[in-house]
Amino acid sequence: MVAFGDFSDSDVTVELDNYIALVEFHRPPHNFFDVSLLKGIADAFHALDKESDCRVIVLASEGKSFCAGAQLGNYQKQDSSDQDSAGKTEDNKAKKTIIGRDHVYEQGVRMMECGLPVIAAVQGAAIGGGLGVALSTDFRVAAPEARFSANFSRLGFHHGFGLTVTLPALVGSQMAANLLYTGRRVGGEEALQLGLCDDLVPVEDLRSRAFEMAKEIAISAPLSVKAIRRTMRQGLVDRFRMATDHEQVEQDWLRQTNDFSEGVRAMSERRTPDFKGN
């Protein structure tokens, strides 16, 4: 494959060959994201969308985890100037949503706006916001070692990255509620049964299988694929944007609770949190 563009400032590399692009992010071992990383992915997607020699994108990462979520410290700083009145009134909520549009979720919206099909190769944990990244793609190929978890409730937090929209679309509203309320981890085999991933292969075959799937799409007429995809995803980007606006509002006030502080501490200390409901 041949290098395409330069997104190295955001720890993203892009290679393109035979109409298939590999977009890979490099923050091993767990690939925690921040605005810079997601912007790099979104920039790569948009550049490839304008490239006539690209028809499909494979999204992958370097390391043990696919993406273990957001860097909580940096994530908190993103909204620090906007936290004083979090959750107090509906007017404040609306203002905060607008102010927060340079937030990580704006980059998620930009990723969703890409007109090309995207296949994620999930080799390990896709946790929290990392699950959101994985589910923002069209298809997922996973290894048995993969772990999927919307662990927000275990942190005293609210789910994000558009999972309000993407998770029920794959597993149904009842199972989505179960996964969000419990924050439990789902292994590769169960993920395949639930529909969180589309194929399950040994980790050593993961990328080759993702590229096989990409080739199956790439041999189809590119204009037809884009048109069909637009039809199948009609209104999805708008729903994703509305969902992340609301998710961010709920996250902003929950971030200031004692339970959230306890959840973060418990996670860092690898213990069960002791939530008090305040």
Tell me which amino acid residue 115 is: G
pTM greater than the 0.85 cutoff = yes
CB 123 within 8 A of CB 251: no
Q: Supply the Cα-derived Rg of the chain in whole angstroms.
A: 18
Q: Per residue of the chain (278 residues), what is the pLDDT tens digit?
A: 788 888 878 899 999 999 999 999 999 999 999 999 999 999 999 999 999 999 999 999 999 999 999 986 544 433 333 332 233 333 433 333 333 445 899 999 999 999 999 999 999 999 999 999 999 999 999 999 999 999 999 999 999 999 999 999 999 999 999 999 999 999 999 999 999 999 999 999 999 999 999 999 999 999 999 999 999 999 999 999 999 999 999 999 999 999 999 999 999 999 999 999 99
Query: Among candidates 143, 142, 160, which has minimal Cα distance to 151?
Result: 160
Classify domain 2-268 by CATH number.
3.90.226.10
| CA–CA gap between residue 249 and residue 107 (Å, rounded) | 17
**How long is the chain?**
278
What single string gives the DSSP state of each residue in 97-132?
HHHGGGSHHHHHHHHHH-SS-EEEEE-SEEETHHHH
